[in-house]
A and B are shown apart, each in its own frame.
Chain A
Amino acid sequence: GENVEQHPSTLSVQEGDSAVIKCTYSDSASNYFPWYKQELGKRPQLIIDIRSNVGEKKDQRIAVTLNKTAKHFSLHITETQPEDSAVYFCAASARNSGNTPLVFGKGTRLSVIA
């Protein structure tokens, strides 16, 4: 089955700096890679996702890159703000009938220091 590794487990950055979180996956059949942000005690919220037919996707301060050959994908947050502080999870799944669950990385606790 799929295995997703995520690094780093914790990340502290100064406000305004960029933050990068990296993930690798093992199953070459995986073709959907979402990123979720989870604040304490709340549900994970989708912030950006990418499919395997695209190498990069950007939404304002957030971007995701995908390298299918190397089986890794990364989240980039630019101009970080204190409200970006949360736990971020990457995930992977192979889309077939829509019944495929997401496999999550272990998460990265991001702290943005004002």
Chain B
Amino acid sequence: GAVVSQHPSRVICKSGTSVKIECRSLDFQATTMFWYRQFPKQSLMLMATSNEGSKATYEQGVEKDKFLINHASLTLSTLTVTSAHPEDSSFYICSARDPSGSTDTQYFGPGTRLTVL
């Protein structure tokens, strides 16, 4: 199946700093990628839909000025957590669907565990 990578896999930062997470589709072009957040022992909650060449679509309750999304190319979307605080500590996962495929399968990246001290 298609491969989605994320970087970094783990990051620890001080409160108030900004953290950038990259999501790449390695063997296909993704016009759309999705960003999810998962707190411990909880489900995946959609944060936003990242659209190549246009603005991201954010879910209700997700601050677009705090979670900046840039989808500058067909293989890369970035999520920047600005002025991070301890409550932003979570597991962030991206996903993408291979539009050339015959299925609706969405492939997930390995996730990024963010810890804000």
Contacts and interface: CB of A to CB of B under 8 A. Distances in A.
A13 interface: no
For the complex of A and B, the 8 pairs showing the least CB-CB separation, nearest first, are A43-B108, A32-B104, A99-B32, A106-B43, A101-B34, A104-B43, A104-B44, A43-B110
Contacts of A41: 91, 111, 113
Contacts of B107: 46
Interface string A82-106: 0000000100010100110111111
A9 to B, nearest CB: 10
A5 to B, nearest CB: 11
Interface string A52-75: 000000000000000000000000
Given A42-B111, A105-B43, A106-B42, 10 more contacts: A43-B93, A46-B105, A46-B106, A89-B43, A98-B32, A98-B97, A99-B51, A101-B49, A103-B46, A106-B43
Contacts of A95: 104
Interface residues of A, number: 23
Interface size class of B (residues with CB under 8 A): 20 to 34
Contacts of A44: 44, 93, 108
Interface of B: 1, 31-32, 34, 42-46, 49, 51, 91, 93, 95, 97, 99, 103-111, 113
Interface of A: 32, 34, 36, 41-46, 49, 51, 89, 93, 95, 98-99, 101-107
Task: Tell which of A32, A46, A102 has the most Cβ of chain B within 10 Å.
Answer: A102
B44 A34 contact: no
Contacts of B45: 104
A34 B95 CA distance: 14
Contacts of A43: 93, 108-111
